[in-house]
Amino acid sequence: MKFTVTSERPGNVKTGCVILGVYEHRTLSPAAAEFDNTTDGLLKKALKDGDMDGISGQTLMLHQPDGAKCERVMLVGCGKTGEFNLRSYQQAARSAALTVNASGADDAVSYLAELEVSERTSYQKVRTLVEEAHSVAYTPDALKSKKDKSLRPIRRLVISVDNADKASARKALADGEAIASGVELARTLGDLPGNICTPSYLADQARELGKSSEKLKVSVMSEAGMEKLGMGSLLSVSRGSRQPAKLITLKYDGGKAGVKPVALVGKGVTFDSGGISIKPGAAMDEMKYDMCGAASVLGTLKACIAMKLPINVVGIIPATENLPDGDASKPGDIVTSMSGQTIEILNTDAEGRLILCDALTYCGKYKPAAVIDIATLTGACVVALGSHAAGLLSNNDELANELLLAGEAADDRAWHMPLWEEYQPQLKSNFADMANIGGREAGTITAACFLSRFTEKYHWAHLDIAGVAWKGGDEKGATGRPVSLLTQFLIDRATG
Ligand code: BES
Ligand code: MN
Ligand code: ZN
């Protein structure tokens, strides 16, 4: 899909579809009122006839409007005037993109970036339009032998902005496309089944990404390398699998040499059966999404490359399967992590922390300015926060706040949870330095407590994305979250 900006007025523009906003109680936006004037009151008449009110998310398509040069005009409901905010704007952008794609139009000119939205700049509005247009065009049909021919996304979206905003709008187009390409990569990888998206496949994808930029260096460590470094915890998870584990490192040197990097560590369990502590059968297929943390690291780096972001980033992905086998870890087994700390594996289904702890220790060698791990870590996080916010836990409040703000700005939110000392005793083991589970209470927090024992040497934050990385049910599919949050965080760091 191609994106450009324009300042042509809606009545004059030649296109498959003009997209205009309408507020509740049939209140035309300024651009819609202009269009209405050139078409002799066409819009007011349609609204008066009761075809639409302007409720958030509604759309109305009118064909061959007399007096204008477009083939269609689409009205998009924006809700109550004055209440138009970030989220309702995103909803309007989304409905508009869905409806225009379902029409026969080849291209469209959108006037939605001209709408007044509280606390949103023109740059942000344009980015939302681009990101939503990309997002609705994604279909997880890579493995369908017959593609759905009724899906015909528009090929070109032109976005109207004030002349004064044109430069920032062009930047927003480029950034929006960069982020959308990262989100799309994360979704594509997430949606792939476990028999295709294996640890080796993730490593190949990382190498592919490496080919796209001089600034990205990719290396892949084998199990023998992990053995040498003493990663007994990571290796204990892959014991039960015939697919060898991989530790993938992606080094993006976009910033000045010698400036400390931000490290992103993504959980890459390409299928989580639970291991010997096997999971129940219902929805077990969704455990192919247990590598969405890894996918978000790859997606974020892809966006960094596309934006040529002036920052140093290291991506680290411990990738493995978690399967039951005669050689798999058993409850009660004790392993030694790279840090030297011993761990009693009381539940083999708490495998994410077992692979992350060694990756987090390893990551110390890059002397990171900050480390963020991203993991579909606990079912408890889905219970606590549902599918709206990622869980955020950190050993540094400033870093946590930066991430919260980035999430707000990118509309990819996280919620801060406590990481108090009081929770640590839940990890006590009679036989090892710690257990890998902390009992029934506060499962998301005790999982983070476990990780915190491996991150004392640097500023660290943990994003539990179990609730946000994919949707179940009829709309089952990866969301690409939290690529937007992470990219926004890096943009903010890079630009000070
Ligand atoms: N990958 C799962 C977490 C998960 C479960 C994410 C359901 C999304 C939906 C993780 O490896 C896991 O199994 N965690 C256990 C931990 C428990 C054994 C302490 C869980 O949450 O049940
Ligand atoms: Mn598990
Ligand atoms: Zn898991």
Model confidence over 179-206: pLDDT tens digits? 999 999 999 999 999 999 999 999 999 9
What is the Cα–Cα distance from 402 to 495, expressed in whole angstroms?
A: 13
Counting Cα atoms < 13 Å in the Cβ hemisphere of 197 gives: 29
Length, in residues, of the chain: 496
Q: Is the CB of 427 under 6 A from ligand 1?
A: no
Based on the residue annotation, tell me whether 279 is a catalytic residue of this protein: yes
Tell me, letter by letter, the H, E, C secondary structure of 259-301.
Answer: CCCEEEEECEEEEECCCCCCCCCCCHHHHHHHHHHHHHHHHHH
CA 493 to chain CA mean position, Å: 18
Q: How much distance in Å is there from the Cα of 138 to the middle of ligand 1?
A: 28
Based on the residue annotation, tell me whether 94 is a catalytic residue of this protein: no
Q: Which ligand is nearest to the CA of 464?
A: 1
Percentage of the residues of the chain whose pLDDT score is greater than 90 = 98
Q: Whose CA is nearest to atom 17 of ligand 1?
A: 350
**What pLDDT is recorded for position 150?**
79
From the list 29, 36, 30, the residue with the least C-alpha distance to 11 is 36
Per-residue pLDDT reduced to its tens digit, 1-43: 999 999 999 999 999 999 999 999 999 999 999 999 999 999 9
Average pLDDT, the chain: 97
**What pLDDT is recorded for position 149?**
82
**What pLDDT is recorded for position 496?**
84
What is the Cα–Cα distance from 477 to 286, expressed in whole angstroms?
A: 9
Q: How much distance in Å is there from the Cα of 448 to the middle of ligand 3?
A: 14
Q: Which atom of ligand 1 is nearest to the CA of 287?
A: 1
Residue segments in the chain with a per-residue pLDDT below the cut of 70: none
**What pLDDT is recorded for position 414?**
99
Q: Is the CB of 376 under 6 A from ligand 1?
A: yes
Of the residues 156, 207, 279, 476, only one is catalytic, namely 279
Q: Is the CB of 351 under 6 A from ligand 1?
A: yes
Q: How much distance in Å is there from the Cα of 462 to the middle of ligand 2?
A: 17
Q: Is the CB of 391 under 6 A from ligand 1?
A: no
What is the Cα–Cα distance from 9 to 3, expressed in whole angstroms?
A: 17
Per DSSP, 221 falls in state E
Q: How much distance in Å is there from the Cα of 131 to the middle of ligand 1?
A: 30
